[in-house]
């Protein structure tokens, strides 16, 4: 287990309120692909405008629905990694809130109760016309039947309430607004925090990318956990070039290991 940077440990020990901002890198070690910065990134392999935008949905709802069924299958097959688990453990003994850009449910499945989803949830579905929620169990079953192929065209189901609309994923597409109150809740949490940990995000997508700056403006200690440099790195007081599943358990382990007192040797 790699040692946590001492400045971060000190800030974490002193912190009254901690906010952990997570991005796709948080779930990378659970086998869920990130979007950028690697050949296997989703936006290296697929066109975001065709698959994650209102215009793409209008142009070919079957292609979009089939792609999201594939992603639902990836999330269902994934397990929370040691980083998700360590965050949930940490929150049991300290005021730690998670603000995530991720649409997977791995933080919740690891036991995190207080999670703000800025970009919605891939396990929530609603009618594209009347907004009525749609049973995720039916979608999970359809995802299993779609046999894990990303480019399958599958007709989205009809809304059972209004019967005229078709069902869409409950995620935020490019050009759409964030869920009502989500960003406000994230800003409020960061404004109260004295430690903000930024894990696994390239810091490219707004408004989420503004949160580390808000943290600096309120005087919080900002630390980044990411194996690569990002747009946030220059803002951080501490940059830990490590991964979520290595670094977060190492930090939490250190926090739970009482600091050795500099007590002088006695009896010598």
Q: Which residues are tagged catalytic?
A: 119
Residue (172 or 220) nearer to ligand APR, CB: 172
Contacts of residue 225, defined as CB under 8 A and 6 or more positions apart, other chains included, come to 197, 198, 199, 200, 240, 242, 243, 244, 247, 248
- When the beta carbons of 217 and 231 are compared against ligand APR, the nearer one is 231
Site string for ligand APR, 65-104 (x = CB under 6 A): ------------------------------------x---
Q: Which stretch binds ligand APR (CB under 6 A): 68-76, 125-133, 195-203, 256-264?
A: 195-203
Shortest reach from residue 105's CB to ligand APR, in Å: 14
* List 107, 202, 239, 254, residue binding ligand APR (CB under 6 A): 202
Of residues 41 and 95, the one with the C-beta less far from ligand APR = 41
* Number of residues located near ligand APR, criterion CB under 6 A: 25
Q: Using CA atoms, how far apart are residues 165 and 129, in angstroms rounded to an integer?
A: 5
Min separation Cβ 242 and ligand APR, Å: 7
Other residues' Cβ atoms within 10 Å of the Cβ of residue 190: 25
Stretch that binds ligand APR, among 36-44, 60-68, 135-143, 253-261 (CB under 6 A): 36-44
Q: Which of 8, 30, 35, 80 binds ligand APR (CB under 6 A)?
A: 35
Residue 11 binding ligand APR, by CB under 6 A? no
Residue nearest ligand APR (C-beta atom): 25
Q: Is 216 exposed, middle or buried (0-12, 13-18, 19+ CB in 10 A)?
A: middle
Report if residue 226 touches ligand APR, rule: CB under 6 A: yes
Contacts of 222 (CB under 8 A, 6+ apart): 196, 198, 212, 215, 216, 232, 235, 236, 237, 238
CB 115 within 8 A of CB 108: yes
Among 243, 248, 250, 252, binds ligand APR (CB under 6 A): 243
Residue 24 lies near ligand APR (rule: CB under 6 A): yes
Cα–Cα distance list, 206 to 32, 174, 183, 254 (Å): 22, 10, 10, 33
Is 227 a binding residue for ligand APR by CB under 6 A? The answer is yes
Q: Where are the alpha helices (DSSP H) in 36-81?
A: 42-45, 48-51, 54-59, 61-77
* Distance (Å, whole) CA 99 – CA 179: 13
């Amino acid at each position: 287990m790699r040692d946590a940077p001492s400045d971060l440990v000190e800030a974490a020990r002193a912190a009254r309120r901690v906010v952990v901002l997570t991005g796709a890198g948080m779930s990378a070690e659970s086998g869920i692909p990130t979007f950028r910065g690697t050949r296997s990134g989703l936006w290296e392999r697929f066109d975001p405008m065709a698959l994650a935008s209102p215009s793409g949905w209008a142009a070919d709802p079957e292609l979009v629905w089939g792609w999201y069924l594939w992603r639902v299958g990836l999330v269902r097959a994934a397990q929370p990694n040691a980083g998700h688990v360590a965050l949930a453990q940490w929150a049991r003994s300290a005021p730690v809130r998670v603000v995530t850009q991720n649409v997977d449910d791995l933080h919740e499945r690891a036991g995190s109760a207080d999670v703000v989803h800025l970009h919605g949830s891939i396990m929530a579905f609603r009618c594209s016309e009347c907004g009525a929620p749609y049973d995720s169990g039916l979608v999970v079953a359809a995802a299993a039947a779609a046999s894990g192929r990303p480019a399958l065209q599958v007709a989205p189901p009809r809304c059972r309430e209004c019967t005229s609309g078709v069902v869409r994923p409950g995620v935020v597409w490019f050009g759409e607004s964030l869920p009502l109150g989500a960003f406000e809740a994230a800003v409020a949490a960061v404004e109260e925090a004295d430690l903000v940990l930024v894990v696994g995000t390239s810091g490219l997508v707004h408004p989420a990318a503004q949160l580390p700056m808000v943290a600096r403006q309120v005087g919080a200690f900002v630390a980044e956990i990411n194996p690569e440099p990002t747009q946030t790195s220059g803002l951080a007081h501490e940059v830990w070039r490590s991964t979520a599943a290595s670094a977060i358990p190492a930090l939490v382990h250190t926090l739970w290991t009482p600091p050795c007192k500099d007590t002088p040797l006695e009896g010598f």
